[in-house]
Chains A and B, each alone.
Chain A
Amino acid sequence: MATKAERLREFLRRLANAEPVRTHDEAYDLLSRTLTGVENEYTDIPVDPEKWKEDGRMYPPQPDSERESDRPGFRLYRSRAHKIYIGEHGTIKIYEVKGRCVINKLGKWR
C-alpha cells in the first residue's frame, strides 16, 4: 500500500489537474471526491467518516471543522496538519499549519 505521503502527493496532483469549478460547494465536493477516489484506489480500508479514530485513511474536512475565515470570500476548514480555504468562486487553497502553501487551485470565474 502506498504511504500517506505518496497518496497525499497523488491527491494534490489530481486536484491540480481537475477541471476548475465555480462555487464553494462544487469545490468542496471536488476536493472530497478526489481524495476519496485516491484512498479507494490506493488502500483497501473501508471509508468510515463517522468513526473518529485513525484507520489508515485520509479524509476530507468535515463541516464541523469550519472556522471563522481570515480571508474574505473564503471559508476555512482545519485538519491536523492543514488549513483548507475554499472560495465562493471555487478556488481551493491548502496550507500546512506551519504556513507553506501546498496547492492554490483557482476557481472558474465565468
Chain B
Amino acid sequence: MRNKQTREMALAHNSTKMHEQVSRFIELLKREFPEIAIDVDAPKNPDGEWWLDISVGDFTTAVAWRPAFGFGLFTSEESGFGDKPNEVYRDVELAYRRICKLEASYRLHSTQKMWLRDLRHLTDIPQTRLADLLGKEQAEISRLEQREDVKLSTIAAYVRAIGGELLLSVRFPRFEAGIEPPAELNKKTRAST
C-alpha cells in the first residue's frame, strides 16, 4: 500500500509536468485499446527518462521516453540489463502506430485469433482513415471493433475497405467447403451481366 501511495504521490506531483508527448501517446493508446493497462513510471526530474509499462491482454511491452530523443520501443525478445531501445520515434503518432502493429503481430503469431482491429493494425490503416472510407464516424468504427456480434455484410465491407476479402468456409465431419451469402452472389451476378 505504501509503495502504491508513494508512486501515486510522485505521479500527482509530476502529473502537471507530464510532457505533452507522453500524455498524447497515452491518450492515443487508450482510445485505440479501451482495455489497455498503462503503468506510468515517472522520473524524479520530469525532464528525465519516463517508462510506460503497457499491457493489452497477453501482450506486454515497456516504452521509454526522453525529451531529447522521443519514444524508445523495445522489439527484441533478448533482454539483459540497461538495454537501450531498438527503435526510437520522435513522432508520437508513429510511435503509437508502431505499438499497434507490434500488438497485432503478437496476436498473429500467438494462438489467439485476430479480430477486426488486429487486421487493421497489420494493414497500417488508422481508424480515422477507415472511417472516411466507410462513410462513418471514428467512434462508430471504435464501437464496431469491440462488438462480438457483427453482421456479415458489415465485416465484409470492413475487410474490403482495408484491402482484403472476406472468405467463409464450413467444416463438417465428411466435407469442407467455401460458402457465400446470397447477397454476395447476387452482387457478383449483377456485376457480370
Contacts and interface: CB of A to CB of B under 8 A. Distances in A.
Interface of A: 3-5, 7-8, 11, 35, 51-55, 58-70, 78-82, 97
Contact of B79 (A51, A61, A78, A81): A81
A80 B53 CA distance: 9
Classify the interface of chain B: helix, strand, loop or mixed: loop
Interface residues of B, number: 35
A4 B79 CA distance: 7
A21 to B, nearest CB: 19
Contacts of A67: 10, 41-44, 48
B12 to A, nearest CB: 11
Nearest to B9: A68
Contact of A64 (B13, B47, B81): B47
B40 to A, nearest CB: 11
A78 B88 contact: no
Given A52-B66, A78-B51, A66 B44 contact: yes
B74 A64 contact: no
Nearest to B66: A52
Contacts of A65: 43, 48-49
A58 B69 contact: no
B95 to A, nearest CB: 14
B82 A66 contact: no
